[in-house]
Amino acid sequence: MQENQTKNNRAIGIFDSGFGGLTVMSAISKLLPKENLIYFGDSAHVPYGSKSKKVVTEFSTDISKFLVKKNVKMIVIACNTASAYSLKTLKKVIKVPIIGVIEAGSVVALQNTKNKKVGVIGTEGTVKSNAYAKEIKKHNKKINCFSKACPLFVPLVEEGWNSGKITEDIISVYLKELVDKKIDTIILGCTHYPLLKDTIKKVIGKNINIIDSATAVATAVKNLLEKNNLLKEKGKGRYEFYVSDDPEKFKKLGSKFFNNKINKVTKVEL
Ligand code: DGL
């Protein structure tokens, strides 16, 4: 029993290209407050969204190895681009359970759509990979997926422009073609986009379901830990943050994404 708890006290490793994955970490910390969490933000290499599959997979592999050295009990790829490009490879080379964000978001979209028209927005890499459409079709071939890369959304969020006229106009231009297709559900297929959720809702209206995969991923993490008998049972979770570039910037901006103050961030070289 004691031995089991020691094993279960190991942290959950979470990584992203930068800040965005903190929205996922925040959801996990709310659902599983006892769990210890270790976050890695690859701030030296952000953005992943415009990089090749090969390069994103190399970065993702190095980070996962770092997290395994930290003795994590599982890894969450809290980045859509890295999930789309690298999950398969990582599952082969990393010896702890590992999940991405795409399956969880797809499942929630499937549960929500009535007219079987689902929009997916994300980085160029995520959209190019077609990963959401593939995952959704695996469950239901009759669903029509319409994807759109929205490359300006990440810099808008990083600048803190989450609302206002300019942001609304940009959202409106990007999403018009999806709205015209009469989608009834849209997946926010990028970890930065939850911060734009209210503004997106204002632009596209209340009738389109907005799927923010962070909550869905947190539930998937809980299910995986339960299934493997790995849930931590006692005490409040402790959090560690690592980055590959300027820790000060991460501390300042990261707190906004995490919805909580981040006090200590350590820079590491992989
Ligand atoms: N975290 C990335 C994603 O979810 C967005 C930022 C980036 O391009 O690195 O796809």
Active site residues: 79, 190
* CA-based R_g, the chain, Å: 18
Asked whether residue 134 falls in the same domain as residue 8, the answer is: no
pTM above 0.85, yes or no: yes
User: In this structure, what CATH number is given to the domain that contains residue 68?
Assistant: 3.40.50.1860
Cβ of 101 closer than 6 Å to ligand 1, yes or no, is no
Asked whether residue 149 falls in the same domain as residue 231, the answer is: no
Range 30-45 average pLDDT = 97
- The owner of tokens 């596209």 is 204
Cβ of 190 closer than 6 Å to ligand 1, yes or no, is yes
Q: Residue 125 CA: which ligand 1 atom is closest?
A: 10
What proportion of the chain, given as a percentage, has pLDDT over 70? 98
Asked whether residue 200 falls in the same domain as residue 115, the answer is: yes
Nearest protein CA to atom 2 of ligand 1, as residue: 79
Asked whether residue 251 falls in the same domain as residue 197, the answer is: no
Instruction: Using the mean position of ligand 1's atoms as its centre, give its distance from the Cα of residue 49 in Å.
Output: 5
Which of 213, 232, 255 terminates a domain? The answer is 213
99 neighbors 72 (Cβ within 8 angstroms): no
Range 185-192 average pLDDT = 95
Asked whether residue 88 falls in the same domain as residue 155, the answer is: no
Range 172-196 average pLDDT = 96
Q: What is the DSSP letter of 199?
A: H
Instruction: Using the mean position of ligand 1's atoms as its centre, give its distance from the Cα of residue 103 in Å.
Output: 16
Asked whether residue 146 falls in the same domain as residue 190, the answer is: yes
Cβ of 185 closer than 6 Å to ligand 1, yes or no, is no
Beta strands 117-122 and 185-189: pairing type? parallel
**What digits encode the pLDDT tens for the residues 118-142?**
999 999 999 999 999 999 999 999 9
Instruction: Using the mean position of ligand 1's atoms as its centre, give its distance from the Cα of residue 99 in Å.
Output: 16
**In terms of residue numbers, what domain contains 209?**
103-213
